[in-house]
Every structure is written in C-alpha cells, then in structure tokens.
Structure 1
Amino acid sequence: MVSGRADLARLRRVAVAALAQYPLAEGRLTFVSHGENTTFRHDGAEGSHLVRVHRPQRHGRAVDSTAAVLRWMDGRIHETSARPVHLRRLGEAMARLHDHADAWPPPAEFVRIRWDHEAFFGDVMVYGGIAAADCWELLPGQLRVRFREVDQRMADLIATADDVGLIHADLHLGNALFHRGVVKLIDFDDCGTGPRLYDLALALWELRDRPDHPAFRDALLAGCRARRDVDVGTWTTSSPCARSRSTCGTPAPLRSTARSPHASTGSTGGPSRCSTSCRPPDPARGRPFGLLPAAVRGWTLAEWSTLSQSDSS
C-alpha cells in the first residue's frame, strides 16, 4: 500500500509536469490541501497560481482530466453571512452564465460530463476506485431506500426537462465571490450538461432549513427572471436531486454542497478564492486537457467567472 507521503510526492510530480505546459517561469511550489483533488500553490515571477491535480476518473469513466492551473481572485464569500440580496445577484449571474452557454458554440473536442439520471443514480461515476453501483450498495439500508425513492422520483423529471444545457452544477454561495460590484463564479469542477433547474435547486440547498428560506428562494428566482424565463413547475421535485449528491457521504460529485477544499485559501467570508484561468493543449493527444479546454479564451473568461452585479459587501 502506498503511503500518504509517497502519494503526495507522486501528485507533486504531476503538478510540476502540468506547470511545464503553461507559460509560467519556475517558482516555488507549496502544498495546499488534499481532498477530492490535490492542490499546490505556485509562486513565481508572474505571481501566484493554484495548481489542482484531479483525482482519476473525476467525472466518470468516459471523462477524465489531469490537472489545471488557476489564478487567485479577490472577493468575499457569503456562505455563512447570506442575505436575500446575495441570492438575487447569484441568480442574475446564473442566468447570464446560462445565456452565454446557450450562445456559445463548443469546439469539436469539448467533452464534459452529462448530468443525466445515469450520472446521478447509475454506474457512471467512480469513487476511490469503486464503481458507483457498488458504492450505492454500501449505503446503510434505510438511507439506501431513501436514495432509491429519490432515484425513482427523478427519472421522469430529468428525462423530460425542457431547459437543458451547460450548467455550473455546483453553484452555491460558497462558489461565488462578491467584490466591488462584481460577482465572480469559481470552482467549475462539476460543469457539464444538465437541467438548468438543477443549478437553481443546488443554490438553495444549504439554506433549506432556514425559516427565511422562502425569501432566499424568491430572491434567487427574481435574479434569474431578470434575464431569462424560469419554469419552476417541478421545483418541489428538483431539490431531491441535490439531496442525492449531498447526503450519501461519498466524494464529489455526490457531495456538492460542502466548500471545495481545493479552492479555498482562507476562512468563509474572508479573502481570496481561485477561479479557472487558461487551459493548455494536451501535447499527448493534441487536444485540451483539464476541466475546460484552451478554447475557454473564446468564452471570454470575464463572462464565465466575472459577472457584473451590484455588491453590498
């Protein structure tokens, strides 16, 4: 069995190899955290960047990536200090993100996970080398029954969703930075194709037990509807899909509402998180690697991760 120290040394070598694919001068590489992914901080002449080494088969057997280099971003996270105004601005940013995704023609080599029923409840994902179907059997009996109930409820809903496209898939307040009139969206690890309503449901999941939950829900919807139509006719049955990712106690993408350890550099509400920057081409395959392709420049990063809103922080 490989020791933790040996495994960390191996991951560090992966990070060093990934850095060689970017136009960055040599610098100091410092370990940050090890969780769903493993992250290092690179300090060099061009400034500080975060190197994120992805766990194998991060998005299932058919979609894999090696590493990504991210840039640090300033802002405040209101995950534990949320007010309805933050949900409204998050909703506006979410709608703008969806609008941009609808208008953007993806390149032929663009490959992302498809958040369909099989991805949530079937055997697409791999957790610690264990196929998802086998993981479900490890759940305690009572929880497994609840999981299958959600499975059955969501089957028709996901199949008949009318607004499907590229989504963030982890767009809660822990992944939004508020800074000087701007909302910056980060942590696109789970970005893929799925029902747009899922982004809405997940944004409210951590607030579900608050007595003022209706105010947050109304604010989020108002923000979204300021830019695009939102049909919430299936709202009450959408949240169980978020629940299926957060209550099973397995690694992401099932555990979606916890703050991502690889993206944090401070306490909640404090400064600096990071956001996706550029992606280099994969020389081995002649195509981009990482969570988003090199063509991300064509998306205009500002549209993906820096969405103008009013700021009250």
Structure 2
Amino acid sequence: MTSVALGPTDQLDPRLLEHRRELTGYCYRMLGSSFDAEDAVQETMVRAWRGLADFEGRSALRSWLYRIATNVCLDQLNGRQRRALPMDLAGNPYPPVEASLAGRRPMTAWVEPVLDRQVIAEDGDPAEQAVARESIRLAFVAALQHLPPRQRAVLILREVLRWKAEEVATLLDTTVASVNSALQRARATLADLDGRPAPRTLDDEDRELLARYLDAFERYDIEAFVKLLHEDATQHMPPFEMWLRGARDIGTWMQGPGAECAGSRVFLTSANGTPALAQYRPRAGGGHEPWGLHVLEIEGGKVAHISSFLDLGTGLFVKLGLPAGFD
C-alpha cells in the first residue's frame, strides 16, 4: 500500500489535503458552524493519519475520509442542542428599541456563517458551484439542524453530494432500505420547514443594488438605505435573540440603537452562497474594528433579509480570515 501521509499532521500528503475544502463544506452543513467544521476536519485528518494501517485501498480515499468525517460529526452532535437562527426561536418580531437587546445567547446556540471561499472551490464546475452555494444558504443549514444527525448525514450525502444509496449505506454501516427511509423522513421534515430556498444567480440589476446598498451604508444615508429593502424585510443579529420585520423598523433601529455604526467602513464578500457585507465600525481612539458580517438575501430587486452576525469579542472576523481592522 502506498502511504497517504508522510508523518506529523502538518506534513500530510497532498492527496489527503486536497479534500479539505469539500470536507469542510460537508461538516459545516452537518454542524451549522464553520468553526466546529474546521475542528471536525482537523480531527478527521488526524484520525486518517493514525488509521492508515487500516486503510488498505478497499475503498476510495475520498469515501474513506467522508466516513471518518461523518463519525467525527456524529460524535460532536451527540447530546448537543441544535443550532438555530433568532427568527426560528421567536414567533413575533421585536420593537426597534434598545431594550430588545436584553436576550442574548452564546454563539454556540446559533447557526454561524461561512465564507464561500472556505467551502466552495473557486475553479470548480459552475453547475457544481451553484449546487454548493444553494446548499450552504442559511435557511437550508438552519433547517438541516432540525434533522436527527444520521438523517442529516443521509440527506446531505444523497441530495447535496449525490452519493448513491448503496454508497451511503456502506458509509453508515446500514442497509439501503434504512437509507431510503431516512431520506424520505428528512425530505418530509424539510418540506414542512420550507428550508430549501430557490436557487438563483446574481444579475446586473442585483449587482447595481449591492453597489447602492454599500454606498448608502457607508454614507449612513438611512433614507436611501431603507429604499433598497423590501417593505416586509427582516433582520436578525446573533448573538441577540431579537429580530426585526419591516423596512421602517430596520431604519428606525439604525437611526436609534444602531446609530454608532455611522462612519463604518464596509466591503463586499460572499458568505453562505449569497452576497455579504463585512462591516468595520469606528473604534474609540481611531481606526475601525470588526463589527458585523451581514449576509444578504435578495428577492425581486430588493434586499429581503439581513443576517447580521456581530463580532462582539468572539473573534468572528479573525476566525473567518477577514481583516482584523482598518486604520
């Protein structure tokens, strides 16, 4: 057997490392956290290196790594509460006042964002990239968290990665009938949750909208900003439990409790298969500090939803590989 690794984990064979990005995407969908996914992939690499003596070429290296990654994720999910988004927890929107910030949970309670570049090959097949972007949309990842872990694995492997039922059965040490049954139950759950957003690509009008959105935010022209939102647009702000509904309430929030964001610097990136804004708020004493990653959903030529993941001492931006600040 040809060795797959050369020694310590920082000297892994390139054939092992070339699967790292797609494994990160798989673990992210399973766990709902890019940071937990990175930890899971690292553990997968360690287990693979330690288990080389048991890998005798009986299956493809990629399948073997997915088997290890699945077991790592199932171990992590054992006894753990599902991650969610604020709108999943509260039936009614909050008023746009500072008192709405009273409820706060640790980031481990929330579905966390992932940058597209962390999980999608930039030089991949366009059709495969489109499927990958759809399958990391926040609504879909949040819906996945409602599934029992093994159902979650079955659905991702079968419907996102397009594995055959026989391959999934082998990976999970179960039968094809069990895989098909789990897939049917998982599909029914997702259908009830309406967690599959319609796939779409950005057109020229969307790009123009994003340019105006960026400009209005940096100028902190709230009147212009609100005009770019759907009338019933929504926004939530993990780690806070609050969420807002309506362009008017979002504008009121930005002019009230959120007014300290005036003077921010922002730049456009891609997260969870959609456009996103990385915002750096003015820092006391000068410069700009990481503040929020705003993941946007665009529908009908306007912004329909804003998921604002706030970096409140959590190191979110650094963990995502975004700049730690600006002068």
Structure 1 length-normalised TM: 0.25
Structure 2 length-normalised TM: 0.24
Higher helix share: 2
Higher strand share: 1
